[in-house]
Amino acid sequence: MKSKNELTKDELEKREKRKLAGIYRKLDKDAKKSVESLIEEAAFMAASLYELRGIINRKGYTEEYQNGANQRGVKKCSEVEIYNTMVKNYMSTIKQLTDLLPKEAAKEVEKNDGFEAFVIGRKD
């Protein structure tokens, strides 16, 4: 099995989609239709966050800029801004998904929603 660092973004997205689909496999057909697009978005964001994290680790948190001949300085890296926005959206999507689970399953997912593994995975 490949490590996270060896996977393409598409492979990471598919892995996340399988993981989330497994959590919601026991829902009835109507509920499954409701979660399919949320699962797609959550998987995309998880893969994108991993990719952005790699870019941030390589480039750093800041970048130099120059506006015209006389104005230059250092600003927050654009990838950091995208990452911060996307992580908020990811957490919101995961919360929406968790809210759609039956209470028993939601408690189990909250114990292990994958976020801790996601954060720990930064060390891969």
pLDDT digit string (tens) for the chain, length 124 residues: 677 778 899 999 999 999 999 988 888 888 888 899 999 999 999 999 999 999 999 999 999 988 888 889 999 999 999 999 999 999 999 999 998 887 765 555 556 666 666 665 655 4
Domain contains 92: yes
Q: Which residue, chain included where needed, has tokens 């995208």?
A: 82
The parent domain of residue 83 ranges over 10-123
What integer pLDDT is reported at residue 52 of this predicted model? 95
Angstrom distance (rounded) from CA 79 to CA 55: 7
How big is the CA angle at 8 (ends 56 and 23), to the nearest 5 degrees? 95
Domain contains 65: yes
CA-to-CA separations, 107 to 1, 68, 72, 90, 110, in angstroms, rounded: 30, 55, 50, 19, 5
The alpha carbon of residue 109 and the mean position of all alpha carbons in its chain are separated, in whole angstroms, by 16
Domain contains 3: no
In the chain, how many domains are there? 1
Angstrom distance (rounded) from CA 75 to CA 65: 7
